[in-house]
Amino acid sequence: MSAPRTVLHVCGGLGLGGTEKAMQLLAAAMDPARYRPVVHAFADGPRRAQLTALGIPVHIGPDLLRTAARTAPDIIHLHRAGWPEPRLLRSAALAGAGAVVETNVFGRHDPSPGARIIDRHLFVSTFCLRRYGAVHGLDVSGPRHRVLYNPVDCAAFAACPGAGAGAPLAVGRVSRADPGKWSALALEFLPHLLARVPGAAYRVIGGTAQAREWVATRGLAAHVDFLEPVADDAGLAALFATVGVLAHANDTGETFGMVIAEAMAAGLPVVTHPCPGLKDNAQLELVEHGVTGLVAATPEDYAGAVARLLADPELARRMGQAGRARARALFDTPVVAARLMDIYDELPARAGASPARPAQRDPAPDITPDTAPDTARHDRPAPLRALHG
């Protein structure tokens, strides 16, 4: 039996964002007889302790080549936004792994020559893959471009009662406390909801200063609980167990929608909204209108959708169970990890450069990543004009 191949996962930092969470879940779910995960991050964060507790080696710092020299990876897996990062790609090329994979989190295009080292481009939704091909006129039908959904630890949410199981008239919202993760819709629906369901409560993780002020100045504080951030799935499951609906609203949209998928795994229906033009719209891929949740575009319609689910526990239960089944079939970590290992199996072992790679080697490698050690950049997409730049 051959030794397991080493996969070096590379990301900007080890914060609590969805990119880092997906990387951690995938690394931890690898079959140890087939693949040995190692992590390199350019900035430290709370996930370092979680990774090391799982027995996964973690290296922190600017020198990716040093980590590669220590670990001799067969595969380098970059978890990145997708935009050009020539220094990072130069370091990945110089590392001499058998293959390079990227998870293109935001579906951005990298036309630089250095991107030729990437053997597989993985997109976290079908929406991202199709937009990528359409906007840039690229053929994405072959094996080099794949959809690999972000993983969700469905087992962590299995004990949640789900919608329609005696949950109070409560609506949940989860995001970072970042204005870029909010939409006016996330607040403006509330007065309309309370007109329909006077006893409704709104439980919010990630409330911004602006959101708190908006609620306070309109006399709605008695209906809104601004909760502290949670660091793990247990904390998230505790919130999901106390609400009957997840309310999602984010003006930039989602390239996947980790919280949406986790709420589905918890048996909750989701209310979301469309985004115009070429903005991220994978929330509509996860939330099938009338099946796993409802889609609404205006504050009045959004409030009506939430009120409908709160008033009809049986409808909410059916949608919640449909969402739970969808999450288990498509997003559950063992399912996604098995697909990723099959993709890894297609790639060459460590035996020199891939034929698709540039032959040149820089005698003075630049090992500083293009992305500064600021994980916020990895959590938030660039403006859409970056697609054309």
Residue 250 belongs to domain with CATH number: 3.40.50.2000
The CB-side HSE value for 158 (13 A sphere, CA atoms) comes to 6
Domain count within the chain: 2
Same-domain status, 172 and 242: yes
Same-domain status, 122 and 244: no
- Please give the model's pTM, rounded to 2 decimal places: 0.88
Last residue of some domain: 314, 330, 346?
330
Instruction: Give the per-residue pLDDT at 277.
Output: 86
The mean pLDDT values, 10 residues at a time, for the chain of 389 residues are 92 94 98 98 96 98 97 97 95 96 97 96 98 96 96 97 80 94 96 97 97 98 96 95 96 96 98 94 98 98 98 96 98 98 91 40 36 35 28
Instruction: Give the per-residue pLDDT at 388.
Output: 24
Same-domain status, 318 and 256: yes
Same-domain status, 30 and 71: yes
Same-domain status, 233 and 314: yes
Last residue of some domain: 330, 362, 380?
330
Last residue of some domain: 330, 352, 367?
330
Q: What angle do the packed helices 313-330 and 333-345 form, to 10 degrees? A: 20
Angle at 19 between CA 16 and CA 20, to 5 degrees: 50
Tell me the β-bridge partners of 204: 173, 226
Instruction: Give the per-residue pLDDT at 348.
Output: 85
Q: Concatenate the DSSP letters of all residues of 316-373 into one string.
A: HHHHHHHHHHHHHHHTBHHHHHHHHHHHHHTSPPSSS--TTS-----SS---S-SS-S
Same-domain status, 70 and 122: yes
Same-domain status, 106 and 186: no
Instruction: Give the per-residue pLDDT at 384.
Output: 25
Same-domain status, 116 and 172: no
Same-domain status, 120 and 47: yes
Amino acid identity of residue 239, one-letter, is: L
Same-domain status, 142 and 173: no
Same-domain status, 233 and 378: no
Distance of CA 240 to the CA centre of its chain: 18
Residue range(s) defining the domain that contains residue 272 = 154-330
Same-domain status, 251 and 346: no
Tell me the β-bridge partners of 78: 10, 102
